[in-house]
Chain A
Amino acid sequence: MIRLENLHVRVGDFDLRDISLEVPKGGYALIIGPTGSGKTTLLEAVAGHARLQSGRVFMHDDEVTDLPPERRGLGFVYQQYHLFPHLSVRDNIGYGLRRPGNGGNGSAAGTRIGELAELLAITPLLDRTVRGLSGGEQQRVALARALAPRPSILLLDEPFAAVDPATRLVLRRELRDLHEREGITTLQVTHDFDEALRLGDLVAVLSEGRIAQSGRPEEVFRYPNSAFVARFVGTGNVIAGTVERKEPGGAPGPFRGVFRGDTLALDVVAEREGPTHAVIRPEDIVLSLTPHPDSARNHMTGRVVRLERSGPVTLVHLDVGRQLLASLTTASVEELGLQAGITVIVAFKATAIYLV
């Protein structure tokens, strides 16, 4: 278990503030955010490398705020791996084992190294130097090295950033398997929300040194609490505008309103008036060639700008006076005969517009 309470870390003129987060025992949490949002600083604070201005860090109910990194019992895999260049692969993996009370004697260390090497398919590399290893191989060695002393907490800083996409997929799966096998509480930093959806039980979106939103990945993806989060996690179309009531007055609670933003006037169900952002998920947009009556409140004509196929799903870039992104199955794109330049009817329900 990792619990962060109101962390405040200052690095130069950058402030990481009000960071509170709890990763349950055996959980897998991801910190996501754009470059410069403070992700790595946050990991370093958890590891004990960064001095805290204020706040407290707990691991398994013990406060570790004032403990040096070596007494926190955690593994840390850096983005650039940082393998020890003067040691062999074997000695890199065994680095944290060569110490009384931290993995036992030489033969126990040897067994652990062999076991991890097998698990990560790097046994043939054990006697090599680390120079000349590929990115994926270095990543596996770094992971084995961090796991060798059986840490109860694993910190990962963009572990897949420097490997090719195919290796990334394999490593991701292996990491998830390892996590389940060893039951390690894991905190990973990434800038890729897709990774969060695939790996995490919990995600925290970081923006300019603060947690903008945290929760289950699907929840954050579906219900972003701000335009920033919606844009960052790729929820889809984010439109700035204002909400007005259709009928003035009325009871408190949700009401029917009109959202005006860019060139659009949309029927929405709102809870408050005034400036806001409308988020429309691409999969909630329905396209047709001829108008037909349905329950959707919002209809407009649009021009297909571009099709972007990715397997069974096709993203349709539309121009409805502004850019709009729709996601259809590739089968229905074929069926409708969609292609760049044609005009289509664009429809979506009032309830599909999520106001943040």
Chain B
Amino acid sequence: MPVPSVWSRVVLAGLSAFLVLFIVGPLLRLLLLATPHSLGEALRDAELRDSIVLTVLTASVATVIGALLGLPLAYLLARKRFPGRRIVQGIIDLPVVIPHPVAGIALLLFLGRRSEVGGALASVGLQFVSHVPGIVVAMLFVSSPILVSGAREAFRSVDPQLERVARTLGDTGWGAFRRVTLPLAGRGILAASILAWARSVSEFGSIVILTYNPKVASIFIYDRFTAFGLPAAIPAAVVLLLVALTVFVVVRVLQPEEHR
């Protein structure tokens, strides 16, 4: 790149600074309200506590299911050439571009008791609409693309020749995966899982349609805001922001240098 002139440097720096401050400003404003006193008060609120526990648990379950189903797929996408690979890849990325309430409505139609699938599942006692499993499937729907694409990149970063070397040293295919690929991709997979978890924690649009009650944290905040106004929503918002920031820092530490 040619050396920019003084003016272009000023313009570049100015525009960049504006956007950075635009992100930092509001968050900082909210964070400044997080005094020990206000946090203590927020955590004494049993309803808020329950919603945070519910959010953390459902997001964790969604992440575990996402990992169980998504890691084999991520490995397949990273390593194998098969017909329809690009189509599968596209389908996995679809939830990213679908507005979340739309996803919620689609899930409602698919899993509601009047649908074939929903009806069948309800008959064995698994209900989604206005039940906790509804939260989990909504979270799974929006977070799995993040997990799969992150894990796929993690697998792709491991040289496939290493598995071949392991095979010639006596490992079975599974043994080579377990002893070589998994440890080498581990950090990337963990980072992808945490990002997917964070995405689940922050989900609102699809959950609000599928399961308004019991309330996850994001719906709890929305509910407090609409029912009791801004001051009532702030403590919960602060707590959720702190959870998100912690996750963010952990992911940054885990990610390999070049992605930071």
The residues of A with any CB-CB pair to B shorter than 8 Å are 44, 47-49, 68-70, 72, 74-76, 78, 80, 82, 84-86, 95-96, 99, 102, 145-146, 149, 155
Instruction: Give Cα distance in the complex from A131 to B173, angstroms.
Output: 25
Count of chain B residues with a beta carbon within 8 Å of a chain A beta carbon: 18
Residue from the list A49, A86, A95 in contact with B169, Cβ < 8 A: A95
A-B residue pairs, 7 tightest by C-beta: A96-B169, A69-B167, A76-B168, A82-B161, A82-B165, A70-B170, A86-B183
Nearest chain B CB to A88 CB, angstrom units: 13
CB distance from A266 to the nearest CB of B (A): 50
Chain A residues near B180 (CB-CB < 8 A) = 84, 86
- How near does chain A come to B166, taking the closest CB pair, in angstroms? 7
* B73 touches A (CB below 8 Å): no
* Contact status B170-A80, CB under 8 Å: no
A99 and B170: CB pair below 8 A? yes
Interface string of B163-182 (1 = CB under 8 A from A): 01111111111010001100
The chain B residue sitting closest to A47, CB to CB, is: B168
Q: Give Cα distance in the complex from A68 to B170, angstroms.
A: 10
Can you name the residue of chain B whose Cβ is closest to the Cβ of A148?
B169
Can you name 27 A-B residue pairings with CB atoms under 8 Å? A44-B164, A47-B164, A47-B168, A48-B167, A49-B164, A68-B167, A69-B167, A70-B168, A70-B170, A74-B168, A75-B168, A76-B165, A76-B168, A82-B164, A82-B165, A84-B165, A84-B166, A84-B180, A86-B180, A95-B166, A95-B169, A102-B170, A145-B169, A146-B169, A149-B169, A149-B170, A155-B168
Neighbouring B residues of A76 by C-beta, 8 Å: 164-165, 168
Whether B184 sits at the interface, judged by CB under 8 Å, is: yes
**A-B contacts besides A49-B164, A75-B168, A75-B169, 14 pairs, CB < 8 Å:** A49-B167, A69-B168, A70-B167, A70-B171, A70-B172, A76-B165, A76-B168, A82-B165, A84-B162, A84-B166, A85-B184, A95-B169, A102-B170, A146-B168
Q: CA–CA, A85 to B159, complex, Å?
A: 10
Cβ B170 vs Cβ A82 within 8 A: no
User: Bound complex: CA of A69 vs CA of B164, how far in Å?
Assistant: 8
Q: How far is the CA of A74 from the CA of B170 in the complex (A)?
A: 9
Contact A82 B167 (CB under 8 A): no
CB of B161 within 8 A of CB of A78, answer yes
**Contact residues in A for B167 (Cβ distance below 8 Å):** 48-49, 68-70
Alpha-carbon separation in the docked complex, A102 to B172 (Å): 13
- In the bound complex, what is the Cα–Cα distance between A76 and B163 (angstroms)? 12
Name, among A44, A80, A95, the residue most crowded by chain B CB atoms within 10 Å (CB to CB): A95
Chain B contacts of A146 at CB under 8 A? 168-169
Query: Measuring CB to CB, which residues of chain B are less than 8 angstroms from any residue of chain A?
Result: 159, 161-162, 164-173, 175, 179-180, 183-184
A70–B174 Cα distance when bound, in Å, is: 11
Which residue of chain B lies nearest to A103 when distances are taken between CB atoms in the complex? B170
User: Which residues of chain A have C-beta atoms less than 8 A from B166's C-beta?
Assistant: 84, 95
* B165→A78 contact, CB < 8 A: yes
Task: Tell me how far the C-beta of A49 lies from the nearest C-beta in chain B, rounded to whole angstroms.
Answer: 5
Residue of A47, A75, A84 ringed by the most chain B CB atoms within 10 A: A84
Residue among A68, A70, A99, A149 facing the most chain B CB atoms (10 A cut-off): A70
- How distant is B169 from chain A, measured CB to nearest CB, in Å? 3
CA distance A84 to B178 in the complex (A): 13
- Give A76 to B161 CA distance when docked, in angstroms: 11
| Chain A nearest Cβ from B186, distance in angstroms | 9
Q: How far is the CB of A77 from chain B (nearest CB, A)?
A: 9
Q: Across the interface, do B159 and A82 meet the contact criterion of CB distance under 8 Å? A: yes
Residue of A nearest to B186 (CB): A86
Shortest Cβ gap from B258 to chain A (Å): 15
Most buried by A among B167, B168, B180, B184: B168
Residue of A nearest to B171 (CB): A70
Report which of B161, B168, B175, B184 forms a contact with A86, defined as CB distance below 8 A: B184
A68 touches B172 (CB 8 A): yes
- In the bound complex, how far is the Cα of B168 from the Cα of A44, in angstroms? 10
Tell me how far the C-beta of B183 lies from the nearest C-beta in chain A, rounded to whole angstroms.
5
Closest A-chain residue to B176, C-beta based? A70
In Å, the complex CA distance between A80 and B165 comes to 11
A47 to B166, CA, bound (A): 12
**B67 CB to closest chain A CB, in angstroms?**
21
Complex interface: chain A residues within 8 A of B175 (CB): 70
Which A residues are in CB contact (< 8 Å) with B173?
A: 68
Cα A99 to Cα B159 in complex, Å, equals 23
Give the residue name and chain of the A residue nearest to B165 (CB): A82
Cα(A149)–Cα(B162), bound, Å:
17
Cα-based distance from A155 to B169 in the complex (angstroms) = 12
Report the separation of the CA atoms of residues A49 and B179 in the bound assembly, to the nearest whole angstrom: 18
CB distance from A85 to the nearest CB of B (A): 7
Cα distance A145–B172 in the bound complex, in angstroms: 17
Nearest A residue to B168 by beta-carbon distance?
A: A76
Q: Contacts A68-B172, A70-B170: A80 and B164 contacting too (C-beta < 8 A)?
A: no
* Bound: A76/B164 CA distance, A: 9
Query: Which residues of the partner chain A approach B170 to less than 8 Å between Cβ atoms?
Result: 70, 96, 99, 102, 149
Q: Is the CB of B162 within 8 A of A82?
A: yes
> How far apart are B37's CB and chain A's nearest CB, in angstroms?
47
Q: How far is the CB of B190 from chain A (nearest CB, A)?
A: 14
State A82–B162 Cα separation when bound (angstroms): 6
B229 to chain A, nearest CB (A): 54
Distance in Å: Cβ of B168 to nearest Cβ of chain A = 4
